[in-house]
Copies of this chain bind each other. A is one copy, B any other.
């Protein structure tokens, strides 16, 4: 099964307590696609500038990522510059240059319009709606967003969320969106807006997945070396939706497993800068870490 993803491709400059890198491959659609490529075929829709290095395009093409939808426009590629302190949970944005991303108009190639799985990465909710207008009856649509859209385009965002099956956001965003400090109440509130499932990412504390009737708590993988958290959320979404597309099963037990596969991919991603750790995984490593999650959280019945 193939997955359509629409989001950003960026050149990131990142500083962490462990090092500093300039103009490395990044962007929500890139992290998502790379993580998801271990599970399914990916159709990527995004925009880059004329300065986008050929080696990055080649890398994406070398995975199961179809780049027909990767538009190349006059101008420079979206650039993000950020810094993390020892508390790696929060990125401090130093500079954002939208460049060609500012005028991004996602045109879904005909061949992608019957993608059964759709991931709307963190872009303007109006563009997310435009994408949904171009796809034919997908089996599952998931979306991400960020505090900027919650604050600036709350009503537009609500209209998008009404149309999606699974919303994947972080905990602070969930609280802010629902105007409710308690995460369980915030989740109930958001589910009442339309989505069947809500995944609340809690960074180094794991993730919660809410359905109308149950809650699943997924642990985080306890890493001794978290090198660079950039892209962890999109890598999570990639493993999560990748697994669902792979098994083509949307029962709760499969969605729970998908949350773990998402956590697995996020845990790999943060072990090195950029896509470095996710570039050349093999599926055995992924399954091995899945089993580690199982050991980590196992306890006997009483």
Contact = CB atoms under 8 A, between A and B. Distances in A.
A37 to B, nearest CB: 18
Tell me whether chain A's interface is mostly helix, strand or loop, or mixed.
mixed
A269 to B, nearest CB: 17
Interface stretch (A3-11, A49-57, A255-263): A255-263
A208 B181 CA distance: 24
Interface of A: 86-87, 181-185, 188, 202, 204-206, 208, 214-220, 222-226, 253, 256-257, 259-260, 287, 290-291, 294-302
Contact of A299 (B218, B295, B301): B218
A86 B182 CA distance: 8
Contact of A257 (B219, B225, B300): B300
A266 to B, nearest CB: 15
A217 B219 contact: yes
A298 B151 CA distance: 35
Residue of A216, A223, A226, A299 most packed against chain B (CB within 10 A): A299
A301 B299 CA distance: 14
* The 10 residue pairs across chains A and B that have the minimum distance between CB atoms: A217-B219, A205-B205, A86-B181, A256-B299, A184-B224, A184-B222, A217-B296, A215-B222, A217-B297, A185-B224
B226 A182 contact: yes
A259 B294 CA distance: 17
Contact of A220 (B217, B298, B299, B301): B217
Given A217-B219, A256-B298, 14 more contacts: A86-B181, A183-B204, A183-B222, A202-B205, A206-B217, A208-B222, A215-B296, A216-B296, A216-B299, A217-B220, A256-B299, A256-B300, A257-B300, A290-B302
